[in-house]
Amino acid sequence: MNMLLTVVDGQTSLPVAFIAVYVVGFIAAVGIGSLAWYNSKRPAGWENSKRPDFIPDITDKDKPES
């Protein structure tokens, strides 16, 4: 299989904007997924671990604070 960005006669096989959308989308998905994972219930073995300082605390408005 040829490389996706093989240059042929000065043109790439895929437009830069097309690739940029996928790169930005991947970075956004990883970032949002990380926030969701850190704010979810702790996985087995992580129950007592401290949450990183750079992760914002997201609270449920319907659930009373305890």
pLDDT tens-digit series, residues 2-57: 455 555 556 657 788 888 999 999 999 999 998 888 777 776 777 777 877 887 77
**Residue 5, C-beta contacts closer than 8 angstroms, at least 6 positions apart:** 12, 13, 14, 19
pTM attached to this predicted model: 0.48
Structure confidence by residue, pLDDT tens digits, 2-14 = 455 555 556 657 7
Query: CA-to-CA distance for 30 and 1, rounded, in angstroms?
Result: 28
Backbone angles phi, psi at 35, to 5 degrees: -60, -45
Q: 16, 7 in Cβ contact below 8 A?
A: no
Query: CA-to-CA distance for 43 and 58, rounded, in angstroms?
Result: 17
